[in-house]
Every structure is written in structure tokens, then in C-alpha cells.
Structure 1
Amino acid sequence: MKNKLRKKFTQLRAKKYLELNSKQIQTIYSSLLRIIKQHKIKVIGSYQPIHTELNIKPVLELLKKKCVIALPRVLNKNNMEFRAWNEYDPLYVSKFGILEPSAKNKKLVPQLFLAPLLAFDLNFNRLGYGRGYYDKYLSKNKNFLTYGIAFSFQQAKIIPVHKNDVVLKGIITEEGSVIS
């Protein structure tokens, strides 16, 4: 079931992908700013967009004035860590073809995670690519504050859930937040 959903939403995202306009960037930024203020967030863990994931870079440019931004580095056996990043730091291509910060950058544990996804449902279940990096990292502490970042058209009726899947706190889209 998950593989069928992955295929469907990968194709849908490829057809409907769009760059965020200034209003949509501001909408996502405002949603995140409320969360940052409410929870006194100092460090945000984000992602470098690949393929047709929502390009959050313009939002990160605004957020860096409020918080430290950290990006993931993939380690072995589906493990990852987060390293500090700013727009002047070079990014390096990992063995998976994903841009990552240097291993020399400061290792951080973000208070707020912005997770990419292929699809989500209104129960805040997330469908990823199936390798389990985010779920494995987030399962180490169920109290992590994690929001999915997606286009509104990525909403599915229901995402099948397995025991290792981590439920998100909410979803933030270009149209606004769906917050639990």
C-alpha cells in the first residue's frame, strides 16, 4: 500500500511542483514563527530539498535571523545527525546525492524538525521515501517537535502506519498550517 502511495504522490508532485511565491514563503514563515515563539525554539533541523520536495530555502533565509539552522548528514545504517549550517557554508554531495553540511560543522540536536514528505494525512502521518531516516532519528525521543513541510496537494485520505512510524505534530503547507 505504501509503495503505491509513494508512486502516486511522486508522480503527482512532479506534475504539480511549483516554486513558492513571496506570499507563500511568508505564509510558511509566519506559521513557523508562531511555533518558534510559543516553544522558545533556538535550533531548527531542516532539510535540503531533493527532486520535487517543497523548496524551503527561502524560508530558512528568513528563519536564520531567529534561530540556528541545522541540516542532516546521513551516517551508516539509516542513521543521521544534524550539523549547523548557514548560507555561506559549502554543502557536500553525499553518497546518496544529497547535499549535506560538513562533518566539521557543529553537531546539534534541533528542538524543532522540519521534515520533508511525499504525502500526509489529517492524522499527521507522514509518507517518506521508505528508508526510515527521519523515523529512526525521531523515534529516539517522541517529544521532538516535528512538522511536515509539504504542498497542500500532497494530502492523502489516509497514510498506512507501521509501528516504527513517527506521527508529526502538524503539517505546514504553502496555504497555511494544519496544526494539531
Structure 2
Amino acid sequence: MTKAEWRKWIKEKLFKYPETIQVKESQFIYEKLFSHPVWRQASTIAVTVSMKNEINTLPIIEEAWRDNKQVVVPKCGRADYSLLFYHLTHWEELEESFYGLREPDVNRCSLSKRSDIDLVIVPGLVFDERGYRIGYGGGYYDRFLTGECPFSTISLCYECQVVKVLPVDTYDRPVNWLVTPERVIKVAFTVK
């Protein structure tokens, strides 16, 4: 299948995935994430504010705040498909942007340096066991993960989002870890 076909397939699957199961499985994912060494050792966590049919990241952000970790959330550069991460300390610092995303209000949040980030929670729609992912098609995270990455990367997903092999282009970047309700998969070289 092409990437577009994979996107269509998984979106249909997630649309039909019962919310009660999503909530239950998300709890297992959170437990695995919060007990993982890369989470425990990280001081600054980069995480996207989730949308519908994604693993809910709001409990992750709140747990990071409780653990006295810095939370940085991305602002998408529409012109150049870039990501800049801004410190988030309160929910009121978010604003709605294009595609219904909730992003930091740059007038209320301070910019984070790439070198300050310890862990990036990379979103996606479908993942393979090698750590490659297909997202929504903008390539924002693949661009961000290009070059020197002084941080670890982890993706959170339901088991139904993990397949054996996905099509990969030269610009695609794998994550270091996949966390599902059932397992934690070390899939690529971990920087730290």
C-alpha cells in the first residue's frame, strides 16, 4: 500500500475503535511510558497536544508538570513545514490554529532550544516494528528529526496501529521506542 492508502486504512480503523477500549488501553500506555527510563531521566519533554482519535496527551502533560518536568509543545510553521517548541506551563497558553490544532500562543510562551529537549513524543497514525511511522503527511516531525538529535524519541500507539513494515522514503526518520498497551519496543538507536 502507498502512504496515502495506509493513512486512509488506519483512520477508518481508529474511527471505529471503541472509546471505552481507547481509554482503557491508554492507561496501560501511560503506565509503561511513566515507568520507562527515558521518561524518568528526562527534564524536558516535547509533546504535541493531541487531537481526536489520538492517544490523549493531556494526562501526559499533567504528569510531567507533577514530576516538575518542563513541557514544550510544537508550533507548526505553515510556510516551511518547520516545528518550533515553546514552553507550556498552563492550559491557557494554548490557542487553536489551523486544522483544529491546539498550539502554544507565542505571545504567552517562551521558545525552547532544541538542545534543551531530552525526550520527544512523536505522533503518528501507523507505525512499523522498525520505528518508522506515517503521520498526517506534512513531514513536520521528519524535518525536525533530521540532523543532530540530542534527545530520545518515543511514539505511543494502540497495538492495531503497529504493522510489520511500512513504505519508507529517504527523508523518513524512525523513533527510538514504540509503546503500546501490550509492549515496549526498542526499535532504533537511542541517543542518550
Report if aligned partners of 2:29, 2:156 keep a CA contact under 8 Å in 1: no
Q: What is the identity percentage for the equivalent residue pairs of Structure 1 and Structure 2?
A: 22
String of CA shifts for 1:78-107, please: whole Å, max 9, x gaps: 011111113443311113321111113111
Which whole-Å CA distance do the structure 1 matches of 2:31 and 2:90 have between them? 17
1:164 corresponds in structure 2 to 171
Which runs of structure 2 are paired with 1:109-120 in the superposition (5 Å)?
109=114, 110-120=117-127
The alignment covers a number of residue pairs equal to 177
Matched AA of 1:121: D
Which runs of structure 2 are paired with 1:1-180 in the superposition (5 Å)?
1-18=2-19, 19-21=22-24, 24-25=26-27, 27-34=29-36, 35-37=38-40, 40-66=41-67, 67-75=69-77, 76-104=79-107, 105-108=109-112, 109=114, 110-180=117-187
Report if aligned partners of 1:28, 1:173 keep a CA contact under 8 Å in 2: no
Q: Displacement, 1:132?
A: 0.1
Unaligned runs of 5+ in 1: none
Which has the larger share of helix?
2
Report if aligned partners of 1:25, 1:59 keep a CA contact under 8 Å in 2: no
RMSD: 1.9
Which whole-Å CA distance do the structure 1 matches of 2:81 and 2:74 have between them? 12
Unaligned runs of 5+ in 2: 188-192
Q: Displacement, 1:152?
A: 1.4
Please give the secondary structure, in 2, of the residue aligned with 1:8.
helix
Which whole-Å CA distance do the structure 2 matches of 1:176 and 1:119 have between them? 16
Which whole-Å CA distance do the structure 2 matches of 1:111 and 1:26 have between them? 23
Matched AA of 1:106: S
TM-score of the aligned structures, taking structure 1 as reference length: 0.88
Please give the secondary structure, in 1, of the residue aligned with 2:153.
strand
Q: Displacement, 1:27?
A: 4.3
Q: Displacement, 1:157?
A: 2.3
TM-score of the aligned structures, taking structure 2 as reference length: 0.83
Which whole-Å CA distance do the structure 2 matches of 1:52 and 1:27 have between them? 15
Which whole-Å CA distance do the structure 2 matches of 1:140 and 1:95 have between them? 27
Report if aligned partners of 1:46, 1:70 keep a CA contact under 8 Å in 2: yes
String of CA shifts for 1:26-82, please: whole Å, max 9, x gaps: 642443442223xx3110000111231111211221122221111110123101111
